[in-house]
Amino acid sequence: MRKVHGRGSASVAALDGVDITFGQGSFTAVMGPSGSGKSTFLHCAAGLDRPTSGTVTVAGQDLAELNENALTKLRRERIGFVFQAFNLLPTLTVEQNITLPMRFAGKRADRRRVAEVIAHVGLTDRARHRPHELSGGQQQRVAIARALVVRPAVLFADEPTGALDTRTAAEVLGLLRESVRIDGQTVVMVTHDPVAASYADHVVFLADGRIADRVSAPTADTIAERMTHLGAFADAPGPGRPGPIGRVR
C-alpha cells in the first residue's frame, strides 16, 4: 500500500510499500518515530482514509470496492476504534455512550450484549454514571466497551494509553489482551511505549512509511533495543499465521 498526502511539490509519501496481514485473534503493536506513518497506516487500514494505491481487505472485503455508504456501514459494524482522547459524550451515561454507535446504525441495542461488555470492562456498577464521574482509565474502558459491543472483526487503537498513568495504562492494556485471549478479538494498536507494545503478540516498526522491522513475542527490553536501531532498514518478512482477518498491501 502507498499513501501520498497532498499534491505536487507539497506531497508527502506517508506510506510507501507497506504489506501486512493481521491474523484473526492476533494482537499487533505498530511503532515508529513521529512522522513515520503510524496514524496514516491506521486510518487507511480502518477505512477512515483511502490509500493512493494498493488494497485494504477487512474480513474478506476489499474496502476499495465499497462506496462511501457501504464503507460507513462496514466501519460501524465490523471495525472498532479507540483513540487517545476517549471521545465520550459528556451528557450521556456509560451505557448510553456504549450503545450510541448502534443507535446511529439504526439498530436496537442488545441489552444482554451491552451488559456483558460493560461487565467485561469492569464497569457494571458505573453503567448509569456520566464520564466526568469516572477516572481516565475508566473512561478509556468505556471507549473500549463501545468499540467491542458490535463484536468488530478488528479493533484499532491509536495511542490508547497515551493519556493514562502507568498503572491505569496497564489495566487498559490487560483488558485489550484479555479480549484477544478470551474472545479471539483481533487488535491493532499504535503506540510509542515499549511497555504497552510488549502486551502485543507482534510488533511492527515503521520508519519513513516503510516496515523497518518486526518482532514476535516481544518484551519491553527487546522492543526498546530494536527502537534504537530504527532507521536501519531491514524489511524482514514476519511469521505467517493462518486465517488472516485483514490485509494491507
Binding residues (CB under 6 A) for ligand ADP: these are 5-6, 12, 14, 32, 34-40
Query: Are the CB atoms for 170 and 159 separated by under 8 Å?
Result: no
Query: Are the CB atoms for 12 and 19 separated by under 8 Å?
Result: no
- Residue 162 binds which entry of ligand ADP, Mg ion, none, CB below 5-8 Å type-dependent: none
- Residue 184 binds which entry of Mg ion, ligand ADP, none, CB below 5-8 Å type-dependent: none
52 contributes a contact to Mg ion by CB under 5 A: no
- Residue 160 binds which entry of ligand ADP, Mg ion, none, CB below 5-8 Å type-dependent: none
Least gap, CB of 56 to ligand ADP (angstroms): 15
Residues 6+ apart with CB under 8 A from 39: 158, 190
The length of the chain, given as a count of residues: 249
Task: Please select the residue that binds Mg ion; options are 5, 16, 25, 39, rule is CB under 5 A.
Answer: 39
Q: What whole-number distance in Å separates Cα of residue 225 and Cα of residue 219?
A: 10
Q: Which stretch binds Mg ion (CB under 5 A): 15-23, 36-44, 46-54, 215-223?
A: 36-44
Least gap, CB of 245 to ligand ADP (angstroms): 22
Q: What whole-number distance in Å separates Cα of residue 45 and Cα of residue 51?
A: 9
Which of residues 21 and 39 has its CB atom nearest to Mg ion in the complex?
Answer: 39
Which of residues 32 and 218 has its CB atom nearest to Mg ion in the complex?
Answer: 32
- Residue 140 binds which entry of Mg ion, ligand ADP, none, CB below 5-8 Å type-dependent: none
- Residue 14 binds which entry of Mg ion, ligand ADP, none, CB below 5-8 Å type-dependent: ligand ADP
Cell of 221: 527490553
Query: Are the CB atoms for 213 and 21 separated by under 8 Å?
Result: no
Q: What whole-number distance in Å separates Cα of residue 118 and Cα of residue 99?
A: 11
- Residue 12 binds which entry of ligand ADP, Mg ion, none, CB below 5-8 Å type-dependent: ligand ADP
Q: Other C-beta atoms within 10 Å of 97: how many?
A: 22
In this structure, which amino acid lies at residue 102?
M
- In the bound state, the residue with its beta carbon closest to Mg ion is 39
Q: Is 174 buried (19+), middle (13-18) or exposed (0-12) by CB count in 10 A?
A: exposed
Least gap, CB of 125 to Mg ion (angstroms): 35
Which of residues 12 and 70 has its CB atom nearest to ligand ADP in the complex?
Answer: 12
Cell of 227: 527502537
User: Site size for Mg ion, by CB under 5 A?
Assistant: 2
Q: What whole-number distance in Å separates Cα of residue 136 and Cα of residue 15?
A: 32
Query: Are the CB atoms for 80 and 155 separated by under 8 Å?
Result: yes
- Residue 185 binds which entry of Mg ion, ligand ADP, none, CB below 5-8 Å type-dependent: none
Least gap, CB of 225 to Mg ion (angstroms): 23
Contacting positions for Mg ion (CB under 5 A): 38-39
